[in-house]
Structure 1
Amino acid sequence: MHRSRFAAIVIDSQVDDINTANQFWPQALGMPYQVSKEEWASRYTHLDVPAGQPQVLLQKVSHESRVHIDIETDNIEAEVARLSTLGASVVERFPRWVVMQAPTGHKFCVVNPQRDDFATADNVNVWP
């Protein structure tokens, strides 16, 4: 048995400096931002979303700009297997997440729990 849920919308931005995204998206969405921990600060920013809502993340990338979702889970391999049975395929594996592609062509990530309330939330799916 494992658990998973929709965790975040990630705005992938092909920019030279993450501050380009930091200057636009927080103002466009009306949410202040927080720079990520120092080791990640040049690539990631978190918008301050209301409690209980999925995160909105800004990410500096080398590929074309796009938006993708993250699915958080307490068992990445089990969730990847479940999604594979639904027709998704693994694109690339990283130590802390897996990039997958849906049968519709959309790429998304399966990640470790991201939101603080994952372990205690009622809105988490439980899978056999």
Structure 2
Amino acid sequence: MIRWIWVFLDRPAQHFDDCARFWSAVTDTRLSPPRGANDEFRTLLPDPALFAAASVKMQAVTGLGGVHIDIDVDDIPAAVRTGLDLGAQLVANHPDYAVLRSPCGQNFCFTPCGRTARTPAPAVRTPDGTLSRLDQVCLDVGPADHEIETRFWTSLTGWTCLPGERPEFARLRAGKQLPAQLLLQRLDENRPASAHVDLATNDIEATALWHEKLGATVLQRHEHWIVLSDPSGTPYCVTDRDPNDR
């Protein structure tokens, strides 16, 4: 059973500090002290007055970076066996966590769960009053792999798979409050699976403008979402979903 989801923003080391400041600002969080052998990890910490648990972490990496999720579970060896039975590959097995790769190439981790109940952070109110919340990881999958990945993630999570408003999307929704849900997007071209984050907002134009002022760049505009890149050039989206809908 999935106890908690961590959204991991993996960002190139040369842009990490700029990205950490950017994502701390857009999520209205403070940065934890750096940790790790090379100070490569930071956690985005909500205001303690909210009584909400952290759910976003950052890691400085070599290469282009990207996004992955950590899944808190009660029994990591059992979760690994389930993942392997469903077609995942074991990348690394550490004493206190395991790294796997989905059948079509998306890395993820199983991590130990905490023993206390946790509450996701509420939506962030921007300076102009707009609400937004980082609440979704979108798995970008080629057309040849979309059915395989959808079946894998549905079985692995045990979440409900719902059709999106557009045929290229499938949504996975948990039966309990978690800080992030999953969206699978069928791409137009075949390539290894990857991921980006989505923020729900009640005003995509206002949110995009605020992000631009903080260092983001608008890449594409669509009717219901805007694609931007953060200070490292890594894409993400702001979408017109309800930021208060958990």
State the distance in 2 between where 1:114 and 1:20 align.
29
State the distance in 1 between where 2:146 and 2:242 align.
21
Deviation at 1:23, TM superposition (A): 2.1
Instruction: Please tell me whether residue 54 in structure 1 is matched to residue 180 in structure 2.
Output: yes
Deviation at 1:32, TM superposition (A): 3.3
State the distance in 1 between where 2:178 and 2:240 align.
17
State the distance in 1 between where 2:132 and 2:149 align.
29
TM-score, reference length from structure 1: 0.77
The one-letter code of the counterpart of 1:32 is: W
Note the residue ranges of structure 2 that are not aligned, 5 or more in a row.
1-128
Note the residue ranges of structure 1 that are not aligned, 5 or more in a row.
122-128
The 1:82–1:113 alpha-carbon spacing in structure 2 relative to 1, beyond 3 Å, is same
Deviation at 1:52, TM superposition (A): 4.1
Q: What is the DSSP-based 3-state SS (H/G/I as helix, E as strand, rest coil) of the residue aligned with 1:85?
A: helix
- Alignment-derived partner of residue 32 in structure 1: 159
- Alignment-derived partner of residue 231 in structure 2: 103
The one-letter code of the counterpart of 2:181 is: Q
Deviation at 1:44, TM superposition (A): 1.6
- Alignment-derived partner of residue 3 in structure 1: 131
The question of whether the paired residues in 1 share the 8 Å contact of 2:202 and 2:242 is answered with no
TM-score, reference length from structure 2: 0.42
Deviation at 1:17, TM superposition (A): 5.8
Query: Which is higher, the Rg of structure 1 or of structure 2?
Result: 2
After TM superposition, the runs of 4+ consecutive aligned structure 1 residues lying more than 6 A away are none
> What's the Cα RMSD here?
2.2
- Alignment-derived partner of residue 45 in structure 1: 170
Deviation at 1:87, TM superposition (A): 0.9
State the distance in 1 between where 2:177 and 2:202 align.
20
Deviation at 1:100, TM superposition (A): 0.3
State the distance in 2 between where 1:9 and 1:72 align.
11
The number of equivalent residue pairs is 115
Higher relative contact order (CA 8 A, sep 6+): 1
The one-letter code of the counterpart of 1:47 is: L
